[in-house]
Amino acid sequence: MKSLLKALKRCAVAGAAALAVLSLQPVSAAQAAPAPVVGGTRAAQGEFPFMVRLSMGCGGALYTQQIVLTAAHCVGRTGPNTSITATAGVVDLQSSSRITVRSTYVYRAPGYNGDGKDWALIKLAQPVNLPTLKIATTTQYNNGTFTVAGWGANREGGSQQRYLLKANVPFVSDAQCRSYSGYGGLIPSEEICAGYTAGGVDTCQGDSGGPMFRRDASNQWIQVGIVSWGIGCARANAPGVYAEVSTFAAQIASAAAGL
């Protein structure tokens, strides 16, 4: 199973896999997906100011103004790393107002081996003066309507996008998710599934590491998941799988404090 999951990661350089986002009610087979398709619709400038594009072909979010939270499968081992460029502050990656900052250090989740624990931190050379995205510390928000955003492909096998796209998708229970072909290796204590039974709305290759988020009780954005793996893009009966942020919240905070 481990080798299969590695083949299905959603990093642009890792190949075509698919991801989704959650909503409040379990999805029935008859439930139809809304109008947006793979990758969704274009985000407005400033709508998700915490979004970051990483040069290896992944996404991420500003955990602090100098630390990006992304997926473990997007990075190498823990240690100094100046090879990654983070682009932030824009929807259009070619905008002249984009902010680009080099990395200085990578921290990959301890024990990451391709299954679960799919989170990592990237320290930037200097702070970025943009809003950050707080993370969930309990499972309180592991439900409801979630949003994902990224510059990944807008169709399975497609190319990366110039403009940031967004989409919404509904929650899929662990039991339902594990019933689908290829999802028996889901780790319920570390991963969350989401997507429409009928497919049609999803993230895709190149969206790995990006945040899955929703509104909290104060109507502020809160990150609940990290784009991790899936099968295809927006296929029926093939939900996306996310790293469950709340499971690792204490570890993430501790690691960030030491960077």
- Write down the mean pLDDT value for the chain: 86
CATH number of the domain at 229, please.
2.40.10.10
The answer on 178 and 101 residing in a single domain is no
Q: Catalytic residues, which ones?
A: 73, 118, 208
- The tens digit of pLDDT for each residue in 46-92 reads 999 999 999 999 999 999 999 999 999 999 999 999 999 999 999 99
The answer on 170 and 124 residing in a single domain is no
Place of tokens 């989170």: 119
Token pair of 238, please? 């093939």
The answer on 184 and 220 residing in a single domain is yes
The answer on 21 and 142 residing in a single domain is yes
The fraction of the chain above a pLDDT of 70, given in percent, is 85
H/E run at residue 252? helix 245-257
* Phi, psi of 135, rounded to the nearest 5 degrees: -110, 155
Instruction: List the helix and strand counts (H, then E) for the chain.
Output: 3, 16
Greatest C-alpha distance within the chain? 50
Q: Do the Cβ atoms of 63 and 69 come closer than 8 Å?
A: yes
Report pLDDT for 39: 57
Task: Provide the domain count of the chain.
Answer: 2
For strands 191-194 and 171-172, give the pairing.
antiparallel
Residue 68 burial (10 A CB sphere; 0-12, 13-18, 19+)? buried
Structural domain including 57 reads 51-131+249-257
The answer on 60 and 9 residing in a single domain is no
The answer on 87 and 27 residing in a single domain is no
The answer on 238 and 115 residing in a single domain is no
The answer on 220 and 186 residing in a single domain is yes
Report pLDDT for 26: 29
Q: Is the pLDDT reported for residue 125 higher than 70?
A: yes
The answer on 140 and 27 residing in a single domain is yes
Report pLDDT for 28: 31
Q: Is the pLDDT reported for residue 19 higher than 70?
A: no
The answer on 231 and 149 residing in a single domain is yes
Report pLDDT for 158: 83
Report pLDDT for 79: 98
